[in-house]
A and B are shown apart, each in its own frame.
Chain A
Amino acid sequence: MPDRRSAMKVIVGSVIAIPALLSEQAMAQAAPAAKTLRLVTPELTMLTSAFNTAGPIYQVSAKVFDGLVDYDFDFNMTPQLATSWDVSKDQRTITFNLRDGVKWHDGKPFTSSDVAWSAMNVWKVAHPRGRATFEDLTSVDTPNELMAVFKFSKPAPVSLMAFHSAESQILPRHLYEGTDLATNPRNVAPVGTGPFRFVGWERGSAVTLEKNPEYWDKSKPLVDRVVIRTIPDAAARSVAFEAQEVDLGGSMPVALSDARRLKDLPQFVIPDKGFEAFAAQAWIEFNVRRPELRDVRVRQAIAHALDKNFMVRAIWLGFGTVATGPISTALKQFYSKDVKTYAFNIEQANKLLDDAGYKRGANGIRFKITHDPLPIAEFYFRTGEYFKQALQKIGIDVELRTQDYATWIKRIYTDNDFDSQNATSYNLPDPSMGVKRYFWSKNIAKGVPFSNGSGYSNPAVDALLESAQVENDAAKRVEQFASFQRIVTEELPQITIADIQWFQLESRRVRGAANGPYGMHGNLAGVSFA
């Protein structure tokens, strides 16, 4: 039967031969051009974070757009588009002196009018949190092309932490003024001032950037091209790293179990810094509108029932440290040790619940609550599972619920139809930016994600948060935040579990990608290969 045999041979042969043949081609081209930096992110939807701060955009856009300033690890401003600055004594006026001769990637000069227009028409209007950060900004004066004077109606300590490019991006006025911000074609083909200019974007595959030959720092950037591959699936990102197809990824690019495995391989490094500007924390939040959870003793009992050390070890696989309160240790100047802590102690937890009047029923159950983990990564589900087990020991029955992201947001922040939930959030460089939103009663805002979902309201806390927003005296601000931490760790609308190492994963060949608190979210002008 020659016909059948030969057909079989063709099939079997081609299954084996096609990959093999193609692989010869592969050998010839396996090594990328030596100076191409290959990034990986989840799916991108646009390429400027001036008014959309979604994680992947935040990771990419600062390569194309420089900011007014950069920050060092102590959150001091360092020069970028501004060479120097002056903050008035009352912190109501910030004067930036801009770098001379900087050009947009289309050749037009970059001037103070770009800064003024972006601040007043983008940051204050269309940025998700810019309105809060620059609430008291009344005008940006431009006495000349190289001077931008920010005028505030009240002292503005918070804005000083927000001039990084990823957070407050300056758009080219000549391409945006008079257009509809939401549909401007430059949102997906950006023209910036940064070390890399936009070349092309194949949606669903990759964004290509190339070295900006006119960059103001003539010695940089150190690589010729940056290719950003978009890979939506964390497991697929992990194999792309392992096959050495990508060099760098930020904001926990792979599953924790993969990260732990990869970091032990000689090809990879996970730096222990480069994420301080996010100061991520993991927490469990209560809906304090619910009858049982309204009682602070119940919330404290639950805190006593959770073994945070175990959670950091088994759920976060060591990528973090046990947290004491709602401000991360990464924000060195604001973190306070002087707070109420809750030792892992089941007896005490049971006693608190007994005192609160929730006796165990015949089945050993005191009452029942629901728990909704943020449904986007495995550690939230693990946290939920642990929460259920831990609370079983103190007679609280937990019903775990799952749903998709949009449904979860609606449940927590629009319908408030939950008892407890767990998620992570960024403190950001200043607690007024990233922490205030969860505890300030005026931020109980239906339909607004990551607002005050717990319904927690304490006039003393409101007063502290509001004063800190406009406090001129740095020492006083620190004190206000210390009092804030003391009160909320006592009242526990949220139990903070851990300060998370929101790490980036690097090929060992990469140098200089973690040299600031924004890590790979910075402009990468100084990144090179070993």
Chain B
Amino acid sequence: MARMGCTATWPASALPDIVKNSRIWRLLLSRLGRSAVIVAGILVVNFSLLHLAPGDAVSVLAGESGGADKEYVDRLRETYGLGRSLPEQLIAYAKGLLRFDLGWSFRNNTSVSELIWSRVPATLLLVGASVSVAVFIGVVLGVASSRRPNSATDNVISVVSLLAYATPAFWLGLMLIVLFSLKLGWLPTGGFRSADLDLRGFAAAVDIARHAVLPILTLSMFYSAIYARLTRASMLELAQFDYVRTAYAKGLSERAVRYRHVLRNALLPLATLLGIQFGSLLGGAIVIEMVFSWPGLGRLAFEAIMARDMNVLLGILFLSSLLVVFINIAVDMVYAILDPRIRAH
């Protein structure tokens, strides 16, 4: 195959070129094939690991009911299919997956897919908004502090980032609740919306936004700090490169060099980090979701772990592994768009 995509110059318009580029499609296909194997492996590992945990859903349920008798417990184990051997359970589960059936949560009296689906909007809102806010704040602060290293601005931003990075999220969340909800009374203490008010349309959207402010602020704080540090470091490093000196030499303004040449390349490591962190953000939001009673997937997963609600937990883990895999493929594709050289190799 001819190396038709081999071009070292920045294309005038990236997209049409990429669509035509067969290397990118081959890359995508090979990544997808590899991912199927990875996801299957993850499933088996998850299943085996989760069943190492002592106790089962029935004992938790009976315990929460304040006790029971032997027949009750035996009957439920039968109903839940817990009497079968582990390989049998795994095969039954995998068969269900092939039919896009994530199973039934006996604990929650509903299908796992319905349960997970009901948590998706809140999760996406929290994680999506937090990542966007974190990237925005992180990049702005990173660029600002890289302008003059060790200046007053840089030092202030460094100290603030360090604080934001080191503050435990649950503590920050609680302090924000104390300030904005208890002392000032501006914002609700938690939840996704005011269930006791019958709000519609714009008022309902504002109500959700009011509930989302503190969780998003708390979650994005930590990540903004990381992104600010990363952007600053990359900016400073890239500023030493020859192509930057060339850009200055050919008479480009400082602004043009900074934003068109340096920042664009500095975003590459940020994209890598985002790809890795997006998956952990889904799970890493557990603490935030607990503190703010946010009805997200992290909380659902946590409750499923405590209750040994295996179908729910496997469902969440399976879907997040899918998501992480696909996001990583997407990140690979984004590299290709951001940096033509990657397409070439």
CA distance A138 to B322 in the complex (A): 54
A100 to chain B, nearest CB (A): 33
Q: Contacts of B49 on A, CB cut-off 8 Å?
A: none
- The contact of A11 among B71, B140, B195, B292, by CB within 8 Å, is B140
- Whether A409 contacts B59 by the Cβ 8 Å rule is yes
User: In the complex the two chains form, what is the Cα distance from A22 to B212 in whole Å?
Assistant: 11
Q: Are B65 and A54 in contact (CB under 8 A)?
A: yes
- Of chain A, the residue at the smallest CB distance from B110 is A188
Question: Does chain A have a CB within 8 A of B225?
Answer: no
- A186 to chain B: closest residue by CB: B109
- A135: nearest residue on chain B (CB-CB)? B69
Instruction: Give min CB distance, A494 to chain B, whole Å.
Output: 14
Counting contact residues on chain A (CB < 8 A from B), the size range is 35 or more
Instruction: Provide the residues of chain B in CB contact with A38, threshold 8 Å.
Output: 196
A448 pairs with B70, CB closer than 8 A: yes
- Which of A8, A232, A406: most chain B Cβ within 10 A? A406
Which residues on A sit within 8 Å (CB–CB) of B186?
19-20, 22-23, 26
> Which of chain B's residues have a CB closer than 8 A to the CB of A132?
69
Question: Hey, which chain B residues are within 8 Å of A164, CB to CB?
Answer: none
Instruction: Please tell me if the beta carbons of B181 and A232 are within 8 angstroms of each other in the complex.
Output: no
Tell me the A173-216 residues at the B interface (CB within 8 Å). 182-183, 187-188, 202-206, 208
Interface flag for A360 (CB, 8 Å): no
In the complex, which of the residues B54, B106, B213 contacts A410, with contact meaning CB atoms closer than 8 Å? Answer: B54
Contacting pair B119 A204 (CB below 8 A) = yes
Q: Of residues 416 to 464 in A, which have CB atoms within 8 Å of B's CB atoms?
A: 425-426, 434, 437, 443, 445, 447-451
Stretch at the interface among B87-95, B272-280, B295-303, B328-336: B295-303
Residues on B with C-beta less than 8 A from A318 are none
Query: Does B184 belong to the interface (CB within 8 Å)?
Result: yes
Q: In the complex the two chains form, what is the Cα distance from A410 to B56 in whole Å?
A: 8
- Within 8 Å by CB of A231, from B63, B178, B190, lies B190
**Chain B, Cβ-Cβ closest to A29:** B197
Proximity bits, B144-160, A CB within 8 Å = 1, else 0:
10010000000000000
Interface assignment of B231: CB less than 8 Å from any CB of chain A: no
Is B60 part of the binding interface, using a Cβ–Cβ cutoff of 8 Å? yes
CA–CA, A229 and B213, complex, Å: 19
Q: Which A residues touch B291, using CB under 8 A? A: 233, 235-236
Binary CB contact string for chain A from 1 to 35 against chain B (1 if under 8 A, 0 otherwise): 10110011001000100111011011001101100
| A389 close to B (CB within 8 Å) | no
With A52-B61, A233-B291, A407-B54 as given contacts, are A187 and B109 in contact (CB-CB < 8 Å)? yes
Stretch of A69-77, A240-248, A471-479, A515-523 on the interface side: A240-248
Distance between Cα atoms of A20 and B185 in the complex (Å): 10
| Least Cβ–Cβ distance between B272 and chain A, in angstroms | 24
Cβ contact within 8 Å between B72 and A131: yes
A388 contacts the other chain (Cβ, under 8 Å)?
no
The answer to whether B327 has its CB under 8 Å from any CB of chain A is no
Residues of chain B within 8 A (CB-CB) of A43 are 303
Which B residues are CB-close (under 8 A) to A229? Answer: 191, 195, 293
Which B85-135 residues have C-beta < 8 A from chain A? 104, 106-110, 115, 118-119, 122
B163–chain A nearest beta-carbon distance, Å: 15
Judged by a CB distance under 8 angstroms, whether B232 is at the interface is no
Residues of B within 8 A of A235 (CB): 174, 291
| CB-based nearest A residue for B143 | A4
Whether B42 sits at the interface, judged by CB under 8 Å, is no
Determine if A317 is an interface residue (Cβ-Cβ < 8 Å).
Answer: no
Determine whether the beta carbon of A448 is less than 8 Å from that of B299: no
Residues of A within 8 A of B67 (CB): 128-129, 425, 437, 448-451
B287 → chain A closest CB, angstroms: 10
How distant is the Cα of A456 from the Cα of B65 in the complex, in angstroms?
A: 23
Residue A281 at the chain B interface, CB threshold 8 Å:
no
Residues of A contacting B196 in the complex (Cβ-Cβ under 8 angstroms): 32-33, 36, 38, 206, 225, 227
A interface footprint on B288-317 (CB within 8 Å = 1, 0 otherwise): 001111011001100100111000000000
CA distance A169 to B192 in the complex (A): 31
Residues 49-82 of B, flagged 1 when their CB comes within 8 A of A and 0 if not, give 0000111100111111111111111010001000
Q: A406-B56, A448-B73 are in contact. Are A205 and B295 (CB under 8 A)?
A: yes
User: Which residues of chain A come closer than 8 Å to B104, judged between CB atoms?
Assistant: 183
Asked if B29 is an interface residue, CB under 8 A from chain A, the answer is no
Chain B CB count within 10 A is highest, among A8, A231, A239, for A239
Interchain CB contact (< 8 A) of B144 among A7, A183, A403, A413? A7
Which A residues touch B53, using CB under 8 A?
406-407
* Closest chain B CB from A291 CB (angstroms): 25
Closest to A44 in B: B108
In the complex, are the beta carbons of A15 and B217 less than 8 A apart?
yes
- Min CB distance B113 to A, Å, is 13
For A243, the chain B residues whose CB sits under 8 A away are 181-182, 185, 188-189
B210 in the interface (beta carbon within 8 A)? yes
User: Taking each of B56, B137, B185, B186, which has the highest tally of chain A beta carbons within 10 Å of its own beta carbon?
Assistant: B186
A404 at the interface (CB under 8 A from B): yes
B246 contacts chain A at the CB level, 8 A cutoff: no
Query: Contacting B72 at CB < 8 Å: which of A15, A22, A128, A409?
Result: A128
Report the bound CA distance from A111 to B286 in whole Å. 47
Is A46 on the interface with B (CB-CB < 8 A)? yes
Evaluate contact between A204 and B300: CB separation under 8 angstroms: yes
Q: How far is the CB of B212 from chain A (nearest CB, A)?
A: 10
B193 an interface residue at 8 Å Cβ cutoff? yes
Would you call A236 and B306 a contact (CB within 8 A)?
no
In the complex, what distance in Å separates the CA atom of A45 from the CA atom of B174? 26
Q: Which residues of B contact A239 (CB under 8 A)?
A: 174, 177-178, 181-182, 189-190
Check A227 against B292 for contact (C-beta < 8 Å). Answer: no
A183: chain B residues at CB < 8 Å are: 104, 109
Compute how far the CA of A489 lies from the CA of B25 in the bound complex, rounded to whole angstroms: 78
* A129 vs B66: C-alpha distance when bound (angstroms): 9
Inside 8 A of A204's CB, which chain B residues have their CB?
118-119, 122, 192, 293, 295-296, 299-300
A-B contact pairs, 18 of them (CB 8 A): A22-B206, A23-B184, A32-B197, A129-B65, A203-B115, A205-B293, A229-B195, A239-B177, A403-B54, A406-B53, A406-B56, A406-B308, A409-B60, A411-B54, A414-B55, A449-B59, A449-B63, A451-B69
On A, residues with C-beta under 8 Å from B are 1, 3-4, 7-8, 11, 15, 18-20, 22-23, 25-26, 29-30, 32-33, 36, 38, 43, 45-46, 52-55, 126-129, 131-132, 182-183, 187-188, 202-206, 208, 225, 227, 229-233, 235-236, 239-240, 242-243, 245, 403-411, 413-414, 425-426, 434, 437, 443, 445, 447-451
A-B complex: 7 closest residue pairs judged by Cβ atoms = A406-B55, A204-B295, A450-B67, A206-B195, A23-B186, A449-B63, A128-B68
A128-B68, A188-B110, A231-B191 are known; give 14 further A-B pairs, CB within 8 A. Answer: A4-B143, A19-B180, A29-B194, A182-B79, A182-B109, A203-B119, A204-B295, A225-B196, A231-B190, A232-B293, A232-B303, A243-B188, A409-B63, A425-B67
